[in-house]
Amino acid sequence: MHADVVIVGAGPAGIFTALKLLEDRPSTNIIMLEKGNPIERRHCPKGRTGACVGCQPCNITTGFSGAGAFSDGKLSLSYEVGGDLPELIGVQKAQDTIDTVDKLYLAFGADTHVEGSGHNPQIRDIRRRAIQAGLKMVDCPIRHLGTEKAQELYLAIEKHLRSAGVDMRFRTECQDLVIENNVCCGVIARGADGQERIDARRVIVATGRRGADWLERICSEHNIAHTPGPVDIGVRVELRNEVIEDVNEVLYEGKLIGYPNPFRNKVRTFCQNPGGFVAQENYDGGLAVVNGHSFKERKSDNTNLAILCSHNFREPFDQPIAYAQNVARLCNMLGDGHILVQRFGDILNGKRTWQKELDRSNVRPTLPDAVAGDITSALPYRTMTSIVAFMLAVDKAIPGFASGETLLYAPEVKFYSNRVQMDGEFTTSVANLHCLGDSSGWTRGLMMASVMGYLMGERLGTEL
């Protein structure tokens, strides 16, 4: 098989590479490989069964549109949010491309309403309280797609790409890259019909968080220049909407950053879901991690958000993803393969949480099969100490945030620590190979991954 471009991964980075490239060069022969299902077949059976049934691959983390679109579906409209891509391409270019990509999302049916925009006096009051607590608040305008609406939007994009001639191969896994004399010539893929080599003039790897550990291995095997980046380990917090309603109403997602004593690690909030639901995601090897969903129509009485502690490792250790995976496995062991949940008050009191205590709590878990237990027996001391100190600081800005009944779920880990070395044109150390999106280590989230893909498509449109 031969193609002009092979795109590995049908998440936002791969999708927007194809969209822009076909806009500029409609005759381009594109093959898109995706390990998961087309979006119309991405259905998590847990809502029907009440428990995870272990779909392989997981329909939440794999498939057309990637993991982020299927979970909460939020587009951050500021260059200050979404990773370090502005360091690579420049702040102004990043913001200008965000504005362009946002218009594309609107063209495919995104909600015109933007959350957290304007200079509301309430926003200034929240920022003042955050500063007094020693925290930085980043108020970022957000276009909330919603889990179910995001599926409709990306289905429209999927149909558009199909009609434009993109050869989409679902349930097809990229097993290796074909690299000869430091030039990437194609990929080795395995689908329902077996293994085949696909030659290509350009190869785009955009495998998302789900494929970050795979890309790290590929970089090591083929000497693709890369460096270990920080790894984020933390918890998913769930509390009543009433506690955080002022933030939900004026910001939708209040992004707070702190460097609490004694370790001064960066700790931040991430992926806030007002009226949302805590969810389980499954990775290869049976690894279960926690995330959050946010629907447009269906709402709960709770808000959930992640609190992530960043860890930077120095030599000789160079496997941060493996480190995070092992922490997650330990949590899974204590939960007998399920997500662990514990009340914050029990953590402060040095005791585990029991199911009977959850049953009489004001905060009822939205993840029904989470196992009450002790997450402090699994998370590293440095991580747990930083999270507790950060939550107590947030409580000063948002009274009640660190109440005894606030729930903490674990493990919440983000697999994007490997950073592929490249320039502002996304040129890697191997000719004709480009790595995009969260798996590249340069972006975090839907919008920045989409921006990276759009710019890649724009470049290919002038070079092919």
d(CA 197, CA 176): 9
Taking only the tens place, the pLDDT of each residue in 12-57 is 999 999 999 999 999 999 999 999 999 999 988 877 887 788 888 8
Domain extents in the chain: 2-110+145-227+419-463, 121-141+230-414
Nearest to 14 by CA among 81, 64, 84, 83: 64
3-state secondary structure of 115: strand
Q: Supply angle C-alpha 445, 447, 453, rounded to 5.
A: 100
Taking only the tens place, the pLDDT of each residue in 377-418 is 999 999 999 999 999 999 999 999 999 999 999 999 988 778
CATH top-level class for 2-110+145-227+419-463? alpha beta
d(CA 21, CA 454): 8
Please tell me the least confidently modeled range out of 61-65, 172-176, 369-373, 405-409. Answer: 61-65
Nearest to 228 by CA among 243, 244, 217, 239: 217
* Cross-strand partners of 283: 287
Question: How many alpha carbons fall within 13 Å on the CB side of residue 197?
Answer: 7
Q: Which ranges of 64-188 would DSSP assign to H, the alpha helix? A: 66-71, 85-89, 91-107, 121-132, 147-163
Instruction: Tell whether omega for the bond before 262 is within 30 degrees of 0, i.e. cis.
Output: yes
Confidence (pTM): 0.91
Query: Helix 241-250 vs helix 121-132: angle between axes, to the nearest 10 degrees?
Result: 120
d(CA 461, CA 96): 19
Under DSSP, the state recorded for 40 is G
